[in-house]
Amino acid sequence: MTLTDAVLVVLAGIGAGAVNAIVGSGTLITFPTLLLIGVPPVTANVSNSLGLIPGSLAGAIGYRREVRQLSSLVRHFAPLSVIGSVIGAVLLLRLDPDVFRAVVPVLVMLGIVLVITGPYLQKRVREKPRPEGAAPGPSNLARVGILGAAVYGGYFGAAQGIIVLGLLGALMANPVQQLNGLKNVLVMIVNAVAAIVFLIVSPGQVDWAVAGLIAVGSAIGGTAGAAVGRHLPPNVLRAVIVTVGLIAVAKLLTS
């Protein structure tokens, strides 16, 4: 790896960390960069998952106030994110990458639609009466959705944040900034667990130099992104999510 390559990877990590904290889909910055400098696809995906962990952690810390407000949801969704991430990571190492990549644009578009319709769907969720004696917490549909998003995130991860945030916004009545903080925590869990699986099952697929450079950049970007994202009005945040999501879909369809 040349010095120019190293600088490009760090800059890509900064961009990915910032985008992930605010929206999600930072992988669409780092993954193509790694391919550009000659890193094999599976190695790029594995090293990228490992390198983005500090950025996800920085984003979650930046949203710590919002995360504390949803601590019960973290407890509900964290185990599902762990399970789904393990499944996705194993699939990455065992299946043809084109199997899931073919449906990635569809999933991202679904996330975008859910973000756009989020206010209406949240209103319906708030107005829906809860059966007497029903336990508080997320619906079974929300649990299944988060599990599926974690499988996807462990497998590939591009625009994972948009999909998660879209699901949360459609199925939960909480403010979008709180859900964005929750999204950062869940994405961090998925990336961390997937990285652990990669290290155990196929440690030779990790390029530690690449992962380290992305880690430095993503930590910087995640800190800055959280500081910016927390102060965006809800409608502006949704507009940013939709814009980035559409760019992600276009990039995926043309890659």
27-73: per-residue pLDDT in tens?
A: 878 888 888 888 887 788 889 888 998 998 898 898 888 889 888 89
205 pLDDT higher than 60 = yes
- Spatial distance between the Cα atoms of 192 and 136, rounded to a whole number of angstroms: 28
Q: In the structure encoding, which two tokens stand for residue 133, read together?
A: 């004696």
Q: What is the CA radius of gyration of the chain?
A: 17
- Spatial distance between the Cα atoms of 51 and 53, rounded to a whole number of angstroms: 6
Q: Residue 207's pLDDT is what?
A: 92
Amino acid identity, position 64: R
Per residue in 127-145, pLDDT (tens digit) is 555 544 444 567 788 899 9
Q: What is each CA distance from 103 to 61, 68, 252, in whole angstroms?
A: 32, 34, 10
Q: Helices H, strands E: what count in the chain?
A: 14, 0
- Spatial distance between the Cα atoms of 45 and 249, rounded to a whole number of angstroms: 18
Share of the chain above pLDDT 70, in %: 84
Q: Mean pLDDT throughout 226-246?
A: 77
Backbone conformation region of residue 154, classed left if phi is above 0, alpha if psi is from -120 to 50, else beta: alpha
Q: What is each CA distance from 11 to 24, 74, 228, in whole angstroms?
A: 17, 31, 18
- Spatial distance between the Cα atoms of 63 and 214, rounded to a whole number of angstroms: 21
**Cβ 150 vs Cβ 85: under 8 Å:** yes
- Spatial distance between the Cα atoms of 183 and 168, rounded to a whole number of angstroms: 8
Q: Mean pLDDT throughout 194-211?
A: 87
Per residue in 76-118, pLDDT (tens digit) is 999 999 999 999 888 877 877 666 567 667 766 776 776 677 6
Q: Residue 133's pLDDT is what?
A: 43
Q: Residue 82's pLDDT is what?
A: 96
Count of all residues that appear for the chain in the document: 255
119 pLDDT higher than 70 = no
Q: Residue 224's pLDDT is what?
A: 92
User: pTM of the prediction?
Assistant: 0.79
92-96, long-range: CB < 8 A, 24+ apart? 92/42, 92/45, 92/46, 92/154, 92/155, 92/156, 92/194, 93/42, 93/198, 93/201, 93/202, 93/205
Q: Residue 128's pLDDT is what?
A: 57
- Spatial distance between the Cα atoms of 156 and 12, rounded to a whole number of angstroms: 17
Q: Residue 126's pLDDT is what?
A: 56
Q: Please, which residues have CB within 8 angstroms of residue 230's CB and are 6 or more apart in sequence? A: 62, 63, 66, 177
